[in-house]
Copies of this chain bind each other. A is one copy, B any other.
Amino acid sequence: MKARITVTLKNGVLDPQGKAIEAALGSFGLGGIGGVRQGKVFDIELHGSDKDAAEATLRQACDKLLANTVVEDYAIEIA
Q: How many copies does the complex hold?
A: 2
Q: Does A30 belong to the interface (CB within 8 Å)?
A: yes
Q: Does A16 belong to the interface (CB within 8 Å)?
A: no
Smallest Cβ distance from A18 to chain B, in angstroms?
8
Say which size band chain A's interface belongs to: 20 to 34
- CB atoms of B34 and A45 under 8 A apart: yes
- CB atoms of B43 and A39 under 8 A apart: yes
| Chain B residues, CB < 8 A from A57 | 30-33
In Å, the complex CA distance between A32 and B53 comes to 10
| Residue of B21, B38, B47 touching A33 (CB-CB under 8 A) | B47
Which 3 A-B residue pairings sit nearest by Cβ, starting from the closest? A35-B45, A34-B45, A39-B41
